[in-house]
Structure 1
Amino acid sequence: MKLSTKIRLFSSLFMLILVLLVNTAIYYMFHTMSLNGERAELTEQANEIVTALNDSPNIAKSDLLRAYLPTDGMIRVVGKDGNLLMSTLTKDWSYKDLPSSYSKKQTSRIIPLKDQANFLTVSKPIIWKNGEVATLQVYKQLVAHTETMETLFYVLMVASIIVLIPTIIAGSLLGRFILNPIKSLTSTMKENISSTNWKKINLENRSRDELYEMEKTFNVMIDYLKDNFEKQEIFVSDASHELKTPISIVKSYAQLLKRRGRENPELINESVQAIDSEADRMQKLVEQMLLLAKNQEQGAYSKLNIVQLAWATVDQFKGAYNRELIVETDSQDIYVNGNYDQLQQVIYILIDNALKYSDKSVNITLSQQPSEVQINVQDYGQGIPQEEMEKIFDRFYRMEKSRSRELGGTGLGLAIAKAIMEKHHGSLSVISNPGEGSTFSMMLPTINRN
């Protein structure tokens, strides 16, 4: 069942039930009030008859009772034994079959009849001839009451239909109002799936309701997907491009060895060294691409001493390189919340770059600020031109590609470092002047020691 059909069905059924409940209540209340009015009127008439009988003992009782005979009813006097003490007074002898009863107290009841209006009867005790206690029963057929209730029933039925028709129309309009944006959203999604054109929904002249928020969120999601898809395409394209060169070199040297390697031993050594170098570069490139993908995930965070982490990273370089690494810190205990391996990787990347692009010493400075810790890695190398500053954190970007290739650079290190810092709610920036060196700054939020 379609959603539009469900909306129309639900709204119509809900209104139908509501109308039925209201109309039933109205019908029942009016029926009760009308019946109580008829009962009160007939009771008052019976009281008048009793008063007249008591006040006029010399008038023939049959004549007196005939004067109070209802138009659509009859009068009976019933004795103790249930027999009639006088002839039934009525203008319609078809009423004579109505039941009668003796009662010592005032009562009233409804006598239901088939295919015609019901009767209302009121019974009152009276003093009859010779002091005998009898029962006066006054009957009245509820013709006017029945006709009124029938009229009310048809009026309520027509009113219900009049109410339900606009309800059905309103349900249909409501269904369109709700479903049109959903249909538009579904159509746009299908179009995006089939053609990948990143189409968005037009939100002009729209009311700011929940459907508007849904469509707005969809547009934001499309922008997000488009951005990530384009980044993915760029990443794959750049990775393919970066791998294409070493693969071509390896293939060229392999073909060269195949053609001339047996006659030229020197060519074998040259080719093996080139193939080994390019294989190492491909391995490093693949490893860094895997690291970049891995660092998109949230690792396990814990409280750690960033000063100790920095010293541990520096010690690794001191053991592998014969270079001067100077560490300065204003505190030995600075704590952050993060992933140990990932933060160590950032410091490793910054120190590794500083050693590659500088032949002088490298300074690592840690300074604690009110709510952050700043870690600077400073080198005294060639520096970075101003027009290159914003590009160095892009994937696969290298300033001097020939020199970076010689140093084994892939253009992924700083992209990895920046991604890790963003995951840790920190930042990574650089200050550099050509010919004077560069200073990379890590900013991380700190936590209490306890």
Structure 2
Amino acid sequence: MKLRTKIQLFSSLFMLVLILLVTSIYYLFYNITADSELEQLAAQTNTIVETLNSNPGIPTNDLLGAYLPTDGMIRVIGEDGSLITELKKPTISSDLAHEFSINESQTIVSQENAADVAVISKPIIWNNGDVVTLQVSNHLLALEETMTTLFYVLVVASIIMLVPSIIAGIVLSRFLLSPIKALIQTMKENTRHANWKKIDAGNRSRDELYEMEKTFNEMIDYLKDNFEKQEVFVSDASHELKTPISIVKSYAQLLGRRGRENPELFNESVEAIDSEADRMQKLVEQMLSLAKNKTEAEMQQVDMTMLCEETIATFKGAYAREIIFEKRIPKLLVSGNPNQLQQVIYILIDNALKYSNDEIKVVISERNNEAIFNVTDYGQGISEKEQERIFDRFYRIDKARSRDTGGTGLGLAIAKSIADAHNGRLSVTSNVGVGSTFTLTLPIVNEN
């Protein structure tokens, strides 16, 4: 069921409830007023009977005439159903049915094209000792006029309430459905034409619909940004893989032409193919690592001081380079995945060794309830312009040197991704010709 249909159905239900309410008010007022008229007429009838019994010497017609209702009549009905006496106002019709009854009754008699009549019937003993029925009736002319007035008042009041309700329902439907239809149309266009169209929120009130449109536009910006990053990533990855594949293919073709006759060429080609294969393997592994680090990893308490010591020991065993480790705190606990945090330490130290020839310095410390891990090299440094892009995927400061050292431009991007996943920060400070310091900051957790 469409939203417009639901709104119309709700409006119709509201109108139906309003009509039932108005009708109930009308008939409730009628019943209460009619019952009140019957009670008054019954009291008047009892008064007539008491007066007849206490004043036998007064002529009956004179006494009954004194109690004749304003818009009614008094009848005395014999046992055979005949009228013994009838007193009425000249304007009152005598078409009202009458019959003898020994039971007292109170009723409202409805008449066609005339006002309703309140009728009280009461058995009494007449002057001659016979049992007769005293019928006192009153035409409810005042009640009919009141009900007519009430009917018109309720109709006008209903119209006054229904018309704005109908208009409000139509306006509300358009107000609600217009932005929703625009959203649906925009989404269809984005799906059909693969563009990044947004909704014009305009300058209207800051309501939920405005928030919906604003959120949709933000989502489109987010999707567009991620799509463009994905395209750049695929393009860069394809470009990075294209070079080693071309080299491998060229050497393979060279081997096919002259490799059998030239042992030196054969050895050179095999070494080049092996080297480029290693580079491709490392590139693929780093790309998979970058994607893997975006998923949630199991977190636990990790001693950063011990993790740094283990990683530095591995480097000292593999490289004939001096690594100065300054441990300013014996134990520093953070919440994280030990494998991923060790990968960050490895990347930062490995980069420092690749881009400098002198010693490097590693410092682990604590500041403002945060663990601070610094790696400082004394190499060529990084310019301010390049510092802004140093953590981008596939970005390399010195592309020629990176190829010589096996760099792919993904290491710092991986490290930055891991730092973000651990609610940490990875930053760099550098001066050209002096060196660079990479800083990893992580929140500290209590041992308990």
TM-score (norm 1): 0.89
> Which residue matches 1:229?
227
Where does residue 7 of structure 1 map in the other structure?
A: 7
> Partners in 1 of 2:399 and 2:208 — Cα distance?
52
Contact 1:430 1:440 (8 Å CA) reproduced: yes
- Aligned residue number for residue 89 of structure 1: 86
Task: For 2:402 and 2:149, locate their aligned partners in 1 and report how far apart those are by CA, in whole Å.
Answer: 98
Alignment of 1:56-205 (within 5 A): 56-62=55-61, 64-65=63-64, 68-70=67-69, 74-77=73-76, 87=84, 89=86, 94-98=95-99, 100-103=101-104, 108-110=106-108, 118-123=116-121, 128-129=126-127, 136-142=134-140, 145=143, 148-149=146-147, 152-153=150-151, 156-157=154-155, 159-161=157-159, 163-205=161-203
| 8 Å Cα contact 1:12/1:167 also seen in 2 | no
Summarize the alignment of residues 183-332 of structure 1 with structure 2, pairs less than 5 Å apart. 183-332=181-330
Are positions 1:26 and 2:25 aligned together? yes
**Contact kept in structure 1, 2:123 and 2:133, CA below 8 Å:** yes
- Which residue in the other structure is 2:366 paired with? 368
**Is contact 1:66–1:89 with CA below 8 Å preserved after alignment?**
no
Task: Give the letter for the 2:60 counterpart.
Answer: K
In 1, the alpha carbon distance for the partners of 2:14 and 2:307 equals 67
> CA 1:88–1:371 in 2, change beyond 3 Å: closer, same or farther?
farther
**Which amino acid letter does the alignment assign opposite residue 8 of structure 1?**
Q
Secondary structure in structure 2 of the residue aligned to 1:274? helix
* One-letter amino acid matched to 1:347: I
**2:356 maps to 1:355:** no
In structure 1, distance between residues paired with 2:171 and 2:385: 58
SS at match of 1:439: strand
Output one character per residue of 1:154-180: Cα deviation in whole Å (capped at 9) or x when no partner. 653564355334322221110100011
Aligned-pair CA distance for 1:344: 0.7
Cα distance in 1 for partners of 2:192, 2:375 equals 49
Q: Deviations for 1:270-309, whole angstroms, at most 9, x for unmatched residues? A: 1111111111111111110111111111211111111111
Cα distance in 1 between the residues matched to 2:96 and 2:436: 118
CA contact (8 A) 1:88 1:96 kept: no
Name the CA shift for 1:85/1:183 in 2 (closer, same or farther; >3 Å): closer
Q: Verify the 8 A CA contact 1:238 1:396 in the aligned structure 2.
A: yes
Q: SS at the partner of 2:29?
A: helix
In structure 2, the gaps of 5 or more residues are: none
1:87 is aligned with what amino acid?
Answer: I
Cα separation, 1, equivalents of 2:103 and 2:112: 24
Deviation string for 1:210-245 (max 9, x for gaps)?
111111111111111111111111101111111111
Distance in 2 between residues matched to 1:25 and 1:403, nearest whole Å? 92
- Cα separation, 1, equivalents of 2:216 and 2:404: 46
How far residue 108 of structure 1 moved from its aligned partner, in angstroms, is: 3.2
- Distance in 2 (CA, whole Å) between partners of 1:138 and 1:386 is 111
> Which string of whole-angstrom CA distances, capped at 9 and with x for unpartnered residues, describes residues 6-26 of structure 1?
112212312321x13431342
Deviation at 1:101, TM superposition (A): 3.1
Paired with 2:85 and 2:154, the residues of 1 have a C-alpha distance of: 40
> Post-superposition shift, 1:147?
6.4
Equivalent residue number for residue 410 of structure 2: 412
Check conservation: 2:81, 2:98, Cα contact below 8 A.
no
Counterpart AA for 2:52? L
Displacement of 1:48 in angstroms is 5.0
Q: Is the 8 A contact 2:80 2:100 kept in 1?
A: no
- Per-residue CA shift, 1:125-152, capped at 9, x if unaligned? 7664378887633133446545654664
CA deviation after TM superposition for structure 1 residue 313, in Å = 1.3
Distance 1:366 1:417, change over 3 A: same
Contact 1:72 1:140 in 2 (8 A): yes
Other-structure match for 1:46: 45
RMSD: 2.9
Deviation readout 1:79-105 (Å, 9 max, x if unpaired): 9xx7779725266564344563335xx
Identify which of 396, 399, 402 aligns with 2:397: 399
TM-score by length of 2: 0.89
Deviation at 1:334, TM superposition (A): 0.7
Q: 1:378 to 1:71 in 2, by over 3 A?
A: closer
Report the more deviating stretch, 88-97 or 257-266.
88-97
Q: How do residues 369-384 of structure 1 correspond to structure 2 at under 5 angstroms?
A: 369-384=367-382
Instruction: Report the CA distance between 1:58 and its aligned residue.
Output: 2.6
Residue 72 (structure 1) shift: 6.4
Unpaired stretches in structure 1, ≥5 consecutive residues? none
| Identical aligned residues as a percent | 61
Q: How many residues align?
A: 444
Give the distance between the partners of 2:166 and 2:131, measured in 1 at CA: 64
Q: Given that residues 100 and 132 in structure 2 are in contact (C-alpha distance below 8 angstroms), is that contact kept between their aligned partners in structure 1?
A: no
**Letter paired with 1:39:** L
Q: 1:405 to 1:88 in 2, by over 3 A?
A: farther
| AA matched with 1:221 | M
Larger displacement relative to structure 2 (143-152 or 364-373): 143-152
Distance 1:98 1:151, change over 3 A: farther
For 1:95, what is the secondary structure of its paired residue?
coil
Change (3 A) 1:406 1:366: same
